[in-house]
Chain A
Amino acid sequence: GDSVTQMEGPVTLSEEAFLTINCTYTATGYPSLFWYVQYPGEGLQLLLKATKADDKGSNKGFEATYRKETTSFHLEKGSVQVSDSAVYFCALSARQTGANNLFFGTGTRLTVIP
C-alpha cells in the first residue's frame, strides 16, 4: 500500500545551520508529495508541494525535489531560524477508491536554538 517513511527526530540545530529531513515514499500510480508544518498548539499548514517527477517545491526558504528514481522528497533549508521550530510532516496523496487521501509520515520535530 501507499506509505511514507520519514526521518525520525527530534532534530536540534543551531540558528543558521543547514537542515535536511529525509522522506521516502511507496506508492502505486503517480502520487503528489507534500510537506506540512505544525507549530506548537496549531493545525497543519502546507509548506510546499510537488505534483510530478523532478518538480521542485519551495516556500519560505525550504525546498524539496520530487525524485522518482529514488522515491524521495527530502526537505532542505540552507539557514534555519528559531521561528522554524515545529514538527514537519511529509505526506503523499494517491487516489484510492474515490478521493485522494493524505498518507503522512511520523513527523520530525525540529528545534532551532539561538
Chain B
Amino acid sequence: AAGVIQSPRHLIKEKRETATLKCYPIPRHDTVYWYQQGPGQDPQFLISFYEKMQSDKGSIPDRFSAQQFSDYHSELNMSSLELGDSALYFCASSPGQARVTDTQYFGPGTRLTVL
C-alpha cells in the first residue's frame, strides 16, 4: 500500500540558511499535518491543512511557513535556520474531514541538521 512520502530524508544546512521540506500524502488523503520531533522528545504539532487551506496551527515559529498545493502535497519552508531547528520533521496524512476518529499516517520523516 502507498505510504506518505517525504523528501529529502536528510538535510544539512548552515545557520541562517533556508530549507524546504516536501510531503506527499497517501492518495485520496486531503489532510496533511506537520510535526517536529527534537532529539529524545515527543513529536510536537506544527501546522495542518485540509483541502489546501490551513486548518490549525500549533507551535510553528514565525520563521516557518507551509502550504498545501492542488495535488495535496505540502511543503514546509523554514527560513533563518537556527541550531535549535535541528530535529526530525514528520508529515502525516489522513482522509476525509479530519475527524477526531481519523488515523494519521506518518511518513518516515526528514532529519534536518543545522550546523
Contacts and interface: CB of A to CB of B under 8 A. Distances in A.
B50 A99 contact: yes
A98 B50 contact: yes
Nearest to A92: B100
Interface residues of B, number: 28
Nearest to A103: B45
Contact of B42 (A30, A32, A97, A104): A104
Of A30, A43, A106, which is in contact with the most chain B CB atoms at under 10 Å from its CB?
A43
B55 interface: yes
A94 B50 CA distance: 16
Contact of B98 (A36, A44, A98, A107): A98
B49 to A, nearest CB: 8
Interface residues of A, number: 29
Interface stretch (B11-19, B77-85, B106-114): B106-114
Instruction: Kindly list the 3 A-B residue pairs having the minimum CB-CB distance in the complex, ordered from nearest.
Output: A98-B55, A99-B98, A99-B55
Given A45-B106, A98-B55, 13 more contacts: A32-B100, A43-B90, A43-B106, A43-B109, A44-B90, A89-B42, A95-B100, A97-B55, A98-B56, A99-B98, A100-B100, A102-B92, A102-B104
Interface of A: 29-32, 34, 36, 42-46, 49, 51, 89, 93-107
Interface of B: 31, 33, 35, 41-45, 48, 50, 54-56, 58, 90, 92, 98-109
